[in-house]
Structure 1
Amino acid sequence: VTDLVIKTRRTPAEMMKDSQSYFLTDGEWKFTNLSIIEHIEELDDGEFSVVTYVISMERRPTLYILNLILPTCALYLLDMAVLFGPSSLEEKINFQIAIILGSSMLAVILNNILPTSSNKPPVIGTH
């Protein structure tokens, strides 16, 4: 046998439906599209069949809003409220220390929740 032709057995719509049933997620990613491109590539040695699968996914921002933005905003709103509140200096300093500890704990928790990147550290970890 000298020729081997590669083809897909199912249509892209069927594969998309099957892929969505197998794709398990924690809610961070949404499987949006699956494309299949088939073509014959001609080289010096002969013709070769090529099948390319293009998988499109998008990240859902809900995870980041609930786990990063809302707690951070709440901590910094408390920080500003204490600065302008009618408290003694000692109470303000104690509360500021609690806010700093809360921010540090949030950074530790987010380090486990959010996906890692090998290029550079997360912005929340550098501040």
Structure 2
Amino acid sequence: MNKREYAQANKAWIEAKAQEEGVKALSKGIYYKVLAEGRNDGRHPSPRSIVTAHYTGWTINGKKFDSSRGGVPLAIRLCDLIEGWIVAMQQMCVGDWWEVYIPAEMGYGKFSQPGIPAGSTLVFEIELLGIA
């Protein structure tokens, strides 16, 4: 499969995922499914917030490329993450655990990362543990 075919397959995958029961839309072509609900206290991170989260990331073929599970949670300023995370996490409350589907344009786009080919739709399980 060449790069163009790979990118098309990733677009088709997220379009199909968007039609599944329980999958909800966010802005910029990002979708998510709630795995567990948190506090629902109306408190959400802003781009300048420091968020603490556990996560696991996969490509659409199920290949895991990164995870904090079994280790120390990620603690980072939200604005320093990929745009897909910034959009999704601003809608989350502490304790929310979502599976998030991020189109390539809101992830790494045309650039490859270790374990992530260019044009990849990214799948993340994100559990928001804290907001500072």
TM-score range, shorter chain: under 0.3
* TM-score (normalizing by structure 1): 0.25
Greater percentage in helix: 1
* TM-score (normalizing by structure 2): 0.24
Greater percentage in strand: 2
Structure of higher CA gyration radius:
1
